[in-house]
Amino acid sequence: MADRLLGRVRRGPILLVLATGNLLAVAAAFGAAGPINSTAPSRSTIGRTWPIAEPDALAEIEAKVATLPSDMSKAFGSRDRWTALKAAPLGIAGADRVRSVVPFYTLDFDITLPDGKTLYPKGFTFNPLTYVKLPQRLIVVHPRDIGWALRNARASDFILLSALGTQNGDAIDLSEKTGRPIYILEERVKQRLGLTVAPVIVEQSGTRLVLTEYGSKSRAAAVPPKGATR
């Protein structure tokens, strides 16, 4: 149960932005190195090297899982009472609506260089979308609309579950039943994206986010409504 939990619960999809930056750095490194000769008989080391000091990430995860109870329900009770699985609540979209949000971010501390010089002062405000691109859409739905989300989601989209009253849903159970990762809408993500109702599809357009909300008529439509193309 513990290893399934680690494998199934995925929170904070915005972290993929950081992963994207790392992948770009790796790709740039390979590009600078030029084509690789697969028949090369040996490998060369250029410059000084040092052994990796950090412990293996997978080994750390496996070691932590080994310390957890085999049956999490006995130790922590049923999953419906786990605060870690509580999604942020959203209202119900009453009608189709499209609006945009610029997710400005303001630093709450100074960013300084090693010599003490201030690079970015506390209070500096910027738009992260000026520098990064959200590689997928975010489809935020209540548990009752999970079928609608699956019908309208692209392969690369993230589906986030929000709460509706006492209906919180079980992201782990839904992931297992649908065969697709289901994420949990965190309160901080809700606030950063300016979400108020669901279902809503969030997609980047230039340096802003476009939020397309779907009313009851669109949710009942046999074909995906405008703005929900595959």
Q: What is the pLDDT of residue 63?
A: 92
DSSP designation for 218: H
> Which residues have CB under 8 Å from 216's CB, separation 6+?
93, 94
Domain count of the fold of the chain: 1
pTM: 0.63
Q: How many residues does the chain have?
A: 230
CA proximity to 213, closest of 103, 88, 90, 105: 90
Instruction: Determine, yes or no, domain membership for 40.
Output: no
Instruction: Determine, yes or no, domain membership for 191.
Output: yes
Q: 111 near 122, Cβ under 8 Å?
A: no
Q: What is the pLDDT of residue 39?
A: 53
Q: What is the pLDDT of residue 209?
A: 96
Q: What is the pLDDT of residue 24?
A: 37
Report CA dihedral (120, 125, 130, 131) to the nearest 10 degrees: 30
Instruction: Determine, yes or no, domain membership for 31.
Output: no
Instruction: Determine, yes or no, domain membership for 206.
Output: yes
Instruction: Determine, yes or no, domain membership for 147.
Output: yes
Instruction: Determine, yes or no, domain membership for 145.
Output: yes
Instruction: Determine, yes or no, domain membership for 42.
Output: no
Instruction: Determine, yes or no, domain membership for 25.
Output: no
Q: What's the rounded Cα separation, in Å, for the pair 23 and 29?
A: 10
* Regions of the chain where pLDDT drops below 50: 1-36, 38, 225-230
Q: 2 near 65, Cβ under 8 Å?
A: yes
Q: Which domain holds residue 156?
A: 85-103+130-220
